Amino acid sequence: MSRLKQTFAELKARKRVALVPYITAGDPNPQMTVAMMHQLVASGADVLELGVPFSDPMADGPAIQRATERALAHGVSLRQVLDMVAGFRQQDSHTPVVLMGYANPVERMGYETFAGLASVAGVDGVLLVDIPPEEAPHDIMAVHGLDMIFLLSPTTTGQRMQLIAQRASGFVYYVSLKGVTGSNQMDLNEVEARVPVIRNLCRLPVGVGFGIRDAETAQRIARFADAVVIGSRIIEMIEQSPSDQILTRLDEFVGGIRSALDAGKP
């Protein structure tokens, strides 16, 4: 059983909603990434989403664009991101890690090579924002035990949801707004109405993200979703903190979300 599947099964048994924080690998510098991953887990994260920096992050808002630029200024490559995951795995063999990024760095490495290296490094899932299900290398990923995560959006038709359901594993990720990451225009009612539709067509756990900025929103989402993904807000906090305070601030923020999620679930 994949680490993602097992984690979601365990959480369901414990009636706990998965908290999935996102950080960009190599932001603010490559030396800090593994320590930040451990901190996120200690503060209550159940799954980690690690961004692979790409020069042209088309689907990302300003916060993650800046994080990407900081990481690229340190020359962070896909290979180094895999090394970071391997470094994380030396002390944590339990928490699933999902890589989120864009097609080209993986294309350049080659899907087969990437899947092999990622599997060995201890990656569990892969989300390539600009690879739609029609083009997905889900078969190659499956051979290497990697889950292929897909986005679902408010504009995704029922027919496309079925296609995505066939090719996805691990969980599906509902983009809670029309926009880029970190935007501020989520319609909570729309999300609440939409999640049961997704559940009807897809048996996988449903995560919700893009635009969740505070504990209150996270708590509300947690009433009907299986996982809450938070990215841009965390990135903003990282960039506003002196580097010696980043771990403390992550702990405060992620710990706060965790408490809200645990308190909010009936």
Partner 1 sequence: MHLTKFPDEHGRFGPYGGIFVAETLMAALDELRDEYERARQDTQFMAEFHHELRHYVGRPSPVYHARRWSELLGGAQIYLKREDLNHTGAHKINNTIGQALLARRMGKKRVIAETGAGQHGVATATVAARYGMACVVYMGADDVVRQSPNVYRMKLLGANVVPVSSGSRTLKDALNEAMRDWVTHVADTFYILGTAAGPHPYPMMVRDFQSVIGMECLTQMPELAGRQPDAVIACVGGGSNAIGIFHPYLSYEHVRLIGVEAGGDGLNSGRHAAPLSAGRPGVLHGFRSYLMQDENGQIIETHSVSAGLDYPGVGPEHAWLKDTGRAEYVAATDDEAMRAFHDLCRYEGIIPALESSHALAHAVKLAPAMDKDQILLVNLSGRGDKDINTVAQLAGITL
Q: Which residues bind partner 1 (CB under 8 A)?
A: 54-62, 65, 69, 72, 77-79, 102-109, 129-132, 134-135, 150-157, 160, 164, 175, 178-180, 183, 185
The residue with tokens 């991101």 is 81
Strands 206-209, 97-101: parallel, antiparallel or unpaired by DSSP?
A: unpaired
For residue 64, which of 239, 205, 232, 241 has the smallest C-alpha distance? 232
Catalytic residue among 10, 27, 56, 60: 60
Q: Which is nearer to partner 1, 134 or 244 (CB)?
A: 134
Q: Which is nearer to partner 1, 2 or 104 (CB)?
A: 104
Q: To the nearest whole angstrom, how small is the minimum distance from the Cβ of residue 34 to partner 1?
A: 20
Q: Is 60 a catalytic residue?
A: yes
Catalytic residue among 10, 27, 46, 49: 49
d(CA 207, CA 149): 10
Element (H, E) at 70: helix 62-73
Specify the amino acid at residue 83.
D
The three-state (H, E, C) secondary structure of 185-239, written as one string: CCCHHHHHHHHHHHHHHCCCCEEEECCCCCHHHHHHHHCCCCEEEECHHHHHHHH
Q: Contact at 8 Å (CB) between 181 and 61?
A: yes
Q: To the nearest whole angstrom, how small is the minimum distance from the Cβ of residue 107 to partner 1?
A: 5
Q: To the nearest whole angstrom, how small is the minimum distance from the Cβ of residue 263 to partner 1?
A: 32
Q: Is 92 a catalytic residue?
A: no
Q: Which is nearer to partner 1, 24 or 65 (CB)?
A: 65
Q: To the nearest whole angstrom, how small is the minimum distance from the Cβ of residue 94 to partner 1?
A: 30
Q: Which is nearer to partner 1, 168 or 246 (CB)?
A: 168
Which residues are catalytic, by number? 49, 60
